[in-house]
Amino acid sequence: MGLNAYRIKGFRGGIADDAYKGVAGAFRFGYGLDIRGGADTMKCNQALKKDSGDIVTDLILFFVPASNGKLYGFGNTGKIYRKDSLASAWVLAYTDPDGRISGAYEYTNNNGSNSYVPYLYWATETKLKRIPLSGNWSTDVQTLGNLNGDPAWHTMTMAVGVLQICDGRYIALVDYEGNFNNQALDVIAGNRTKTILPQDQIAIIGSTKGDKIEEGWLWTWDKQQSSWILRRMIAEKGINAMIQTDFIIVQAGISGGLYYWDTVNVMRFKAFPGGGWVNPGAVANQKGIALFGVTGSDKCGLYSYGRLSKNEPYSLNLEYIPTHGKMSGVEIGAVTVYGDQVFLSWKDGSTYGVDTVDADNKKDARYEGLVFDAGEPELQKGFRHIKLLTRPMPAQCWIKAYYRINEQGDWKQAYLEDGADSFDKEGKTKTVFTIETGDEEDEEKGKGETFELAFDLHPSGNDTPEIIVASTYFEPIGIL
């Protein structure tokens, strides 16, 4: 009986919702893969590099790319950092004596002398503060007013022409003339506003009722009404973050849920593998692709969701693991795009940092494919060989292959016919890995009803291996 082939070709589908099926090009899990750039091959993404040195010593919760060309970071112990250009080093600009900064934004308004100037605004637990962008940090920091107080979040943005600030059950407001109202909107008691998104003629507000109540609410407000316009409940532990790309994406709860909302219809459409959540400042839009810094799972990192072309599927991808190298026990505080470059802040125990993309180096990548059963899950099969067709292998790059039978145990490594554990032949474009089959009585080695395939890709500098197609050859054995 001839051998059949299971082919993996095309990789733009991203991380699937189901272990057994997904859109074309989907895979079960992976990280460090470049699924949107260049040809539709399996290849390594760029690496991250630590950009902050030893300057950043707390967790930045919000970035503000300002109109003066500088990037500011606001930390959870009150430190305010500044980066003057892409090439410049971070500096500590100011330390707020009131501690944790839980919201920040740039907004232009009347300075009291009928001059309209841009300010950096930020909020501590009970105070709203600001400084003119052209101001002196030693002399020009102002306290504009008192907030009602929230120890967690004062996320802020410009919506409907004014600066709106989350403040417990209220939305505070600064208007164009510089007037401050700390109770401009009162949502229903028991709800705490956490995140806010401008949308046409309204603001969309996300709230939580705490860590133990499965109620997150979405509210709309147009600033003209004395109360909110409409609200919609999502049965999750609060609304954490929102971002606008092709549509509004809402991250709710602690199980990684992503929701579509158009102010009428709400629908859960995706979830981060392993669950987790996104801090309010850990979202960004990079050329129409949504970026999410995920915390609280065993698969933390910087994810992307979206598509670059109407002919491609919307896909989820774990683009980057921060430079600490961990996917669990870590936190991502904030994400932004500054000078067309991604920046993210992180915490690992008592260590903190800001990472950005390293344009000169790629990073090791991992690919784990969907569970394959050839459409006959009841039929036992014998899996024999894995053939790779690749682009010419660059120097000092390599690929390792792994497999798993019937979703049991750890991944087993496949070897080349000469016993080598990796394909690293410079300039070569194809190779064959052999799956150890054992003897006829050993059903653990290469025999089973389902099969999974995985690869480790190792780059060198800015060169990466590229898999065009991976074919696994197998034969039907029988029902036992």
Band (pLDDT 50/70/90 cuts) for residue 437 is low
Average pLDDT over residues 81-101: 97
Checking if the pLDDT of 249 tops 80, the result is yes
Task: Please tell me the predicted confidence (pLDDT) of residue 440.
Answer: 41
Average pLDDT over residues 225-247: 96
Task: Please tell me the predicted confidence (pLDDT) of residue 436.
Answer: 73
Task: Please tell me the predicted confidence (pLDDT) of residue 48.
Answer: 98
The predicted-structure confidence for 417-433, as pLDDT tens digits, reads as follows: 899 999 999 999 999 99
Average pLDDT over residues 16-24: 94
Average pLDDT over residues 270-285: 97
Task: Please tell me the predicted confidence (pLDDT) of residue 293.
Answer: 98
Average pLDDT over residues 272-281: 97
The predicted-structure confidence for 359-385, as pLDDT tens digits, reads as follows: 999 999 999 999 999 999 899 999 989
Task: Please tell me the predicted confidence (pLDDT) of residue 477.
Answer: 86
Checking if the pLDDT of 441 tops 70, the result is no
Q: What gap in Å lies between CA 105 and CA 119, rounded to an integer?
A: 8
The predicted-structure confidence for 1-18, as pLDDT tens digits, reads as follows: 568 999 999 999 999 999
The predicted-structure confidence for 111-128, as pLDDT tens digits, reads as follows: 999 999 999 999 999 999
Task: Please tell me the predicted confidence (pLDDT) of residue 478.
Answer: 75
Checking if the pLDDT of 212 tops 90, the result is no
The predicted-structure confidence for 188-204, as pLDDT tens digits, reads as follows: 999 999 999 999 899 99
Checking if the pLDDT of 398 tops 60, the result is yes
The 8 Å CB, 24+ separation contacts for 116-119 are 116/176, 118/66, 118/67, 118/68
Checking if the pLDDT of 446 tops 90, the result is no
Checking if the pLDDT of 442 tops 60, the result is no
Band (pLDDT 50/70/90 cuts) for residue 59 is very high
Checking if the pLDDT of 388 tops 70, the result is yes
Summary mean pLDDT of the chain: 95
Band (pLDDT 50/70/90 cuts) for residue 438 is very low
Q: How far does the chain reach from its first CA to its final CA, in angstroms?
A: 17
Q: Report the percentage of the chain scoring pLDDT > 90.
A: 91
Band (pLDDT 50/70/90 cuts) for residue 445 is low
The predicted-structure confidence for 146-183, as pLDDT tens digits, reads as follows: 999 999 999 999 999 999 999 999 999 999 999 999 99
Checking if the pLDDT of 217 tops 90, the result is yes
